[in-house]
Structure 1
Amino acid sequence: MSMQTVNTVVQLRAAVKVWRLAGESIAFVPTMGNLHQGHLKLVEAAKNNADRVVVSIFVNPTQFGVTEDFGSYPRTEAADQEKLAAANADLVFLPTVADVYALGARTTVVVDGLSNAYCGLSRPGHFVGVATIVCKLFNMVQPDVALFGAKDFQQLMVIRTMVMDLNIPVDIIGVETVREESGLAMSSRNGYLSDSERVIAAKLYQVLCRARTSILAGNQSLKEIEVDSVFFLHKAGFHPEYFNICRSSDLKKADQDDRELVILAAAKLGKTRLIDNIQLSR
């Protein structure tokens, strides 16, 4: 059966209803398009977790700040649809802003605490936009499972918390970050990097790996490792926003007794903002 493409919620629900009546389960992969291998890995994982796979392509204006790249964000719908058809997605949902947001919409979803730290500090309102659009898409698609990349660990935590707090009947599956040969985490924004910047960009993951090794060795305090890592990023040519060793359960600052950790990092390279993380147990 060939992949369907729909633009309205009415069309989407009609297609989903047919599958529901046939007793089929539905997996959902929300994207902003400009798809790369990381997105296609989500589709592959979705196919392993449900009978049908719905992928949305929607560049969500409410998660971009006034100085951010909403207008210039790469839009490649035709190429994206070809990739999704080759990956055997069942349906692509391609709504307009008017389809998604009612005129004068006043309702938002706020996940307190988690939304205000790390990326939330430098991108005020970003996670309100993320939580609101994901909640809306869940209401539109009504999937059994939804899949998100672990590259944006904070986003994954925000969505997991929202689903738990609001009793949304969707299982959230985090999928491991897909990396280029250099170790650079795949991202749509990597397209903004020049060739020389791309070489430097790979060092973000190298610094994360170095920090993980230092934590496991136990010869330095976590604070010393954070400070050293920021120094190395500066030296490599980045403008670090944060480099924090956190508890993976709630993203609070880790102490020496915590065992399940995630190292979160964000840094600018030229005009491109990069994020990455590594999880570890000790």
Structure 2
Amino acid sequence: MTPSYYTHLTNMNAGIGGSHHAYRLSSAINKKLCLFERNNYVGGRTYDRDYDGNSPEAYANTSISSQGAQRFYLDQAVIKQLADELNIFYYSYDYRRGLNKARRIFYISINQMCSRSYINLTCTDDSNGLNSVDQLWNKLMEEYHRNTSSLYNFADFNAFCRFVHGDEATEFLRDSRLRSIFIDVQIPRPTKVFTQIWSGAWHFQKANSIVSNKQIISWALYPLQRFTKHQFTLVGEAFHLDRAGWTEAAIKSSLISLTSQFDLKFKCYENDVSSGGRFCSLDFV
């Protein structure tokens, strides 16, 4: 015979919204709670992707392609309070220099980027102790200083780099050195813009929608009318579009659901930047 399991409450995902919802419920009410998740880890997109595009085991420390949900601003009061409550370590970093991006993948070091995105390059130090970036840069400058007027034979500096080093080495220099040098360059307004809308990751309404963001928040509390309070509710980033995103939106959605469905009381968060100064879950119920 197959054993049967009875639970009072069921959470159907263990992303940041579902995990937060289960965490608050389990500590507030004396009920059995079952958490379902298709992956073998909790946290959803708060984990990084490895080089092959797979999500590593929970608590792995080999992050490469960073997912946005694990980052937040210190003036996002809801996230900061939760991190402090759970004793989660966080730190500030210079986003312009802290990550290296090459061929649509983020890396935490230049050497890692060179060896994995530019596999045809020699990513080792030479006899003078110069790393691969400095070696390429020195060779480029030597060629330039040998005859500075030769630069005018090329359409731009990019074409000159490709003439000296080839395509792959030029892209590596661009991603590792040039972007860190010209971080303060002011790019003029474009004369024409091409856009790509990723429909699978776009939560906001289309133009001329007759439904407001706050109506979506209210609908998510009781999405199916045949269910009553405590029975069914939706929690997640897509259901809190009030100037919030990623982890913050998922947690706020969870707080609103817990306030509405289970009458839990939460403090109001002052100085919450995305709420325009103050966030109270009770205001959305």
Classify the TM-score, shorter chain.
under 0.3
TM-score, normalised to structure 1, is 0.24
TM-score, normalised to structure 2, is 0.24
Higher share of residues assigned strand: 1
Which of the two has higher C-alpha Rg? 2
